[in-house]
Structure 1
Amino acid sequence: MQKSKKSKKSKRGSSDFLLLVSIIALVFIGIVMVFSASWPEAMVEKDDGYFFLRKQLISAIIGSVAMVFFMNFDYRRLKKLSLPIYILSLISGLLIFSPLGSTRKGARRWINLGFTTFMPSDAIKVGSVIFFAAFLANKKDKVRSFKEGVIPALLYMGLSCGLIYLQKDLGTTITLAATMVGMFFISGMKLGLLFVFGAAGALVLYLSSRGEGNEFRANRWTSFLDPFKDKLNTGWQAVQSLYALGSGGLFGLGLGKSRQKFFYIPEAYNDFIFSIIGEELGLIGSLIVLLLFIIVIWRGILIALKTEDLFGCYLASGIVALIAIQSLINIAVVTSSIPTTGITLPFISYGGTSLLFYMSAVGILLNISRYAKLDRS
């Protein structure tokens, strides 16, 4: 018994150093840029230029503790805990519709705990990835079965994404849906289902922009086609973001010298923080941030490929897909490559819940890397 425990322990190596350093660098850049981008609003709204910086620092410290904890928490134990984790994440989403739910800017997406606010969609994303990885690992020989594989997978996707969609958060809904479809595809689903998912996604996008109360989504599609046509109204954010990126040039205007953060871009420290990075740090700074994300995604894919455990492979794939898809959507919005949607840039945008859950997810990924057969030279 002692011998088997010892051999099990000896399999565990060190965490992926390059992945860890890249995440630390992204979080550090995020703290600096949140401070720079939030200064004008913090001075006007809070009479304290350091208000958002302090909150982001506290979130980064808590997130670092969570990351270190999950780095040393055997990820294989999450398989047994996947159902309770998933149920808790769904319950947190349902609390939106309780008296604890808080509405901001026409969307009910937050839970007000009194001392702080909490965004359950981040919990649902991570909880769904953990649970779906366990489901796919358990159904490894029946994934292609319509009754035992496809139908349950569709139900879980619909439940997770539907709960977020009810919060009027289309960007996060798309992110989680694409992540879960990606995990399902990796597990061996039939190729034809990709076209079904694509058609279903297109139908949801179409229906979400129709009807009373959804005019703002239809306007976003219209302004996306030509943001300068209505640059003082529906195209405002996209145009101001492009101005910021364009004025940054190669080396940027200099840290803290952005002009667009002075109330031209709403909440410049949040969804459009990448445009402020482009303005202050230029093309060079933007490319460094992109390179760090590429390293994180590359190392994550490598960890998934080198993990012998099926649950670990799917879990690593889901975490990497979540980071990659959300980052891609955010940067595409900022560069006006897709219609505007409110979605943060992982590790960099302001937001305590997002930072906490993404750092926790990376902690799990780093733990998986300890059991993967990686070249650690």
Structure 2
Amino acid sequence: MAKGKSVKKKKAVDFSLLMGALILVFIGIIMVFSSSWPEAMQDFGDGYHFLKKQIIAASVGLVGMIICMNIDYKIWKKYSFLIYLLALGSGALLFTPLGISLKGARRWINLGFTTFMPSDAIKIGSIIYFANFLSNKKEHIRTLKQGTIPALIIIGISCGFVYVQKDLGTTITLAGTLMSMFFIAGMNLSHLIFMGIGVVGLGFLVLSGEHNAYRRNRITAFRDPFAYKLDIGWQAVQSLYALGSGGLFGLGLGKSRQKFSYIPESYNDFIFSIIGEELGFLGTLTVILILMLIIWRGIRIALSIDDSFGCFLASGITALVTVQSLIHIAVVTSSIPTTGITLPFVSYGGTSLMIYMSAIGILLNISRHANLDRS
């Protein structure tokens, strides 16, 4: 090395964020194993079936996290449009012979050796592209023509590609995430009137028609789940039974009763209720506190980065974790109508786990460029 030249030392990543994400993934692996055992034995004759797949996904996700953690986040800005097109293109593949239908919905792509869920890729691809849009338009973000209308078009396209997969829960999650980013960027609040009209119209469209009767049933069941506990209110009631029977300390790890065919996909959309049943209020509180730690560190990173793209990207990833976690916990506690939403880092799902861990890797790289306390 030439004399007089110095190498700029790379900053450490946010340790609290890193440990919070890894601890949640570890808790998720344990709870997926516990909650999936009965169904794995019944359907596959192997109680470790879902555990093995979750460990593989976590391992790939860890590699993705490490890679993204060491790639300068600014590169995502450079290729944001290409990433967005690839994400939307993966959604379009659902309508080719590669797309497969499971449990009444066409949401998976068959790659031969595994399946892939495009909606998770669309979420992170939309966040990256929208962060680039907001950083480029920050001087005009409050205008109708250059700010609100283009932003709503991007949000509409992104959510539309998810909605056609008959996945209203993920559509709402992505819409809430992108709208949070738009709000943080300084959107003109007076334009909310037009957005409100659009939301009401969209809500009417979503709930109307015979093919959407199951969504109206979910709202009916939400109003009084115990009045329909043998049919449309079954999931909500069984979830509440699980949470209630757990008490303060829980029944004990592996001792859930509701996972024995009472709660459908207890290792996925309702894993939080199994946590409550087996680990009690203290277990659910622990998970919530770790999620709050991740969200808090994400907010600190977004506030501490000087670059506007980094700020919006960090805000988007943090908002995604926040919105999806809130919806999952609200569904499990019957605070909102039932919808299929996973709990980030915890629920079973290879694509979701790998995408979320990689997204945390991006957030960790942004933390390397931020002026913040890394403890």
Q: Give the structure-2-normalised TM-score.
A: 0.97
**Equivalent of 2:224, from 210, 223, 226?**
226
The Cα of 1:204 is off from its aligned counterpart by: 2.1
Distance 2:135 2:105 in 1: 36
The Cα of 1:355 is off from its aligned counterpart by: 0.3
Q: Counterpart in 1 of 2:179?
A: 181
The Cα of 1:208 is off from its aligned counterpart by: 1.1
Structure 2, unmatched stretches of 5+, are none
**Equivalent of 1:243, from 241, 244, 253?**
241
Please state if 1:365 is matched with 2:356.
Answer: no
Give the match's secondary structure for 2:211.
Answer: coil
Checking the alignment, whether the CA contact within 8 Å between 2:305 and 2:370 is kept in structure 1 is yes
Give the match's secondary structure for 2:108.
Answer: strand
The Cα of 1:210 is off from its aligned counterpart by: 1.4
Q: How does 1:39-118 map to 2 (within 5 A)?
A: 39-118=37-116
The Cα of 1:147 is off from its aligned counterpart by: 1.8
The Cα of 1:193 is off from its aligned counterpart by: 2.6
Q: How does 1:1-377 map to 2 (within 5 A)?
A: 9-10=8-9, 12-376=10-374
Deviations 1:260-297 (A, max 9, x none): 00000001000000000000000000000000000000
Give, as a single letter, the amino acid of the residue that structure 2 aligns with 1:67. Answer: M
Of stretches 187-196 and 173-182 in structure 1, the one that deviates more from structure 2 is 187-196
Distance 2:18 2:188 in 1: 35
Of stretches 13-22 and 194-203 in structure 1, the one that deviates more from structure 2 is 194-203
Give, as a single letter, the amino acid of the residue that structure 2 aligns with 1:239. Answer: V
The Cα of 1:203 is off from its aligned counterpart by: 3.1
The Cα of 1:366 is off from its aligned counterpart by: 0.4
* Aligned Cα root-mean-square deviation (Å): 1.4
Checking the alignment, whether the CA contact within 8 Å between 2:91 and 2:122 is kept in structure 1 is yes
Distance 2:201 2:176 in 1: 15
Give the match's secondary structure for 1:214.
Answer: helix
Give, as a single letter, the amino acid of the residue that structure 2 aligns with 1:132. Answer: F
Deviations 1:329-361 (A, max 9, x none): 000000000000011111000000000100010
Distance 1:241 1:195 in 2: 37
The Cα of 1:207 is off from its aligned counterpart by: 2.1
Deviations 1:271-324 (A, max 9, x none): 000000000000000000000000000000000000100000000000000000
Distance 2:216 2:360 in 1: 36
Give, as a single letter, the amino acid of the residue that structure 1 aligns with 2:241. Answer: Y
Cα 1:234–1:33 change in 2 (3 A) is: same
Cα 1:260–1:109 change in 2 (3 A) is: same
Give, as a single letter, the amino acid of the residue that structure 2 aligns with 1:141. Answer: E
Q: Give the structure-1-normalised TM-score.
A: 0.97
Deviations 1:108-158 (A, max 9, x none): 111111211100000000000000001110111111222222221111111
Give, as a single letter, the amino acid of the residue that structure 1 aligns with 2:102. Answer: R
Checking the alignment, whether the CA contact within 8 Å between 2:132 and 2:309 is kept in structure 1 is yes
Give the match's secondary structure for 1:363.
Answer: helix
Distance 1:201 1:169 in 2: 17
Give, as a single letter, the amino acid of the residue that structure 2 aligns with 1:367. Answer: N
Deviations 1:53-79 (A, max 9, x none): 000000000000000000000001110
Checking the alignment, whether the CA contact within 8 Å between 2:119 and 2:162 is kept in structure 1 is yes
Distance 1:219 1:119 in 2: 26
Give, as a single letter, the amino acid of the residue that structure 2 aligns with 1:223. Answer: A
Aligned residues: 373
Distance 1:152 1:101 in 2: 30
Give the match's secondary structure for 2:340.
Answer: coil
